[in-house]
């Protein structure tokens, strides 16, 4: 029996400053790998997930002045450029694909760190980065920080990533309960970021996709304010991806909109 054909992918992303912040330090990426017209920022697109696939990413920057915005944009742009370069060099196996993506994340980390070291106005800048590379009938997820990846399958929403944050570690160590973690000050302190001086821990997860599955990437402007069940409810109702993205952004704004909000959706289908 022949293998099933690769899935097609429809994508939509949006990033907004939100009603409280003055500057948007988030960035997103969504495009087919190697697309010369791709740019960071809002975009709608569609494309096959056959090799070299579709690349999705969200980044939540941090740093003084506008350095966070610089770091997040640098992260997604370097990620795409490096992955394209590595794909063009020839990749034969799934292991090589994953190592190429991990290497592209590390390259983005090194570029941000080097840029900050050479410019005092950007000293200490960094960013989260969560990546979904959709290939064939699978999504390869890579994460640094606390921006999240989810998969919505058969009406249920599953969080694929685990926040690399202080609060998550305290919960895992039994020091805090989940309820306490939602209320504690400093819950957005992260333990990993691109551009930091610490050793980088790039977490990877591979998830099989089926027709109708939806991949969601978001910064904590959404996941930190909107409950899991409410996000699940929006995706369960379905409809055009642009409408779903708008509903999720609106939920975050209604919940206070205290941070920048970035949402990327990708729906898989035959």
> So where are the chain's domains?
8-269
Q: Whole-model pTM?
A: 0.93
Listed in sequence order, the residues at least 6 apart from 36 whose beta carbon sits closer than 8 Å to its beta carbon are none
Say what the pLDDT of residue 89 is. Answer: 87
Say what the pLDDT of residue 118 is. Answer: 86
Radius of gyration (C-alpha) of the chain in whole angstroms: 18
Listed in sequence order, the residues at least 6 apart from 14 whose beta carbon sits closer than 8 Å to its beta carbon are 28, 42, 245, 246, 249, 262, 263
Measure the CA angle with vertex 69, ends 240 and 9; round to 5°: 25
* DSSP code of residue 198: S
Cis status, amide bond into 68, omega within 30 of 0 = no
Output phi, psi for 230, to 5 deg: -75, -35
Q: Can you tell me the distance from the alpha carbon of 240 to that of 226, in angstroms, rounded to the nearest whole number?
A: 21
- Render each residue's pLDDT in the chain as its tens digit; 270 residues: 567 777 899 999 999 999 999 999 999 999 999 999 999 988 888 888 888 999 999 999 998 667 999 999 999 999 999 999 999 988 889 899 999 999 999 999 999 999 998 888 888 899 999 999 999 999 999 999 999 999 999 999 999 999 987 666 666 656 666 665 666 665 677 889 999 988 899 999 999 999 999 999 999 999 999 999 999 999 999 999 999 999 999 999 999 999 999 999 999 997
User: What is the topology classification, in CATH, of domain 8-269?
Assistant: Phosphatase 2c; domain 1 (3.60.40)
């Amino acid at each position: 029996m022949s293998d099933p054909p690769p899935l097609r992918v429809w994508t939509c992303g949006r990033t907004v400053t939100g009603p409280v912040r003055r500057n948007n330090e988030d960035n997103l990426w969504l495009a087919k790998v190697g697309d010369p017209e791709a740019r960071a920022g809002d975009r709608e697109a569609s494309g096959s997930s056959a090799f070299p696939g579709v690349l999705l990413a969200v980044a939540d920057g941090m740093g003084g002045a506008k350095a966070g915005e610089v770091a997040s944009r640098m992260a997604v742009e370097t990620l795409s450029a490096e992955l394209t370069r590595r794909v063009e060099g020839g990749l034969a196996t799934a292991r090589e694909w994953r190592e190429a993506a991990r290497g592209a994340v590390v390259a983005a980390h090194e570029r941000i760190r080097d840029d900050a070291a050479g410019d005092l106005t950007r000293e200490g800048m960094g960013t989260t980065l969560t990546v979904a590379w959709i290939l064939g009938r699978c999504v390869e997820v890579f994460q640094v920080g606390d921006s999240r990846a989810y998969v919505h399958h058969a009406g249920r929403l599953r969080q694929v990533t685990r926040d690399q944050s202080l609060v998550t570690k305290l919960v895992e160590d039994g020091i805090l309960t989940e309820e306490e973690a939602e209320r504690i000050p400093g819950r957005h302190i992260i333990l990993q970021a691109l551009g930091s001086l610490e050793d980088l821990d790039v977490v990877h997860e591979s998830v099989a996709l089926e027709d109708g599955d939806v991949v969601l990437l978001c910064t904590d402007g959404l996941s930190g304010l909107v409950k899991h069940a409410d996000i699940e409810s929006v995706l369960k109702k379905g409809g055009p991806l642009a409408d779903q993205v708008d509903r999720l952004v609106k939920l975050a704004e209604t919940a206070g909109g205290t941070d920048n909000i970035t949402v990327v959706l990708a729906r898989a289908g035959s």
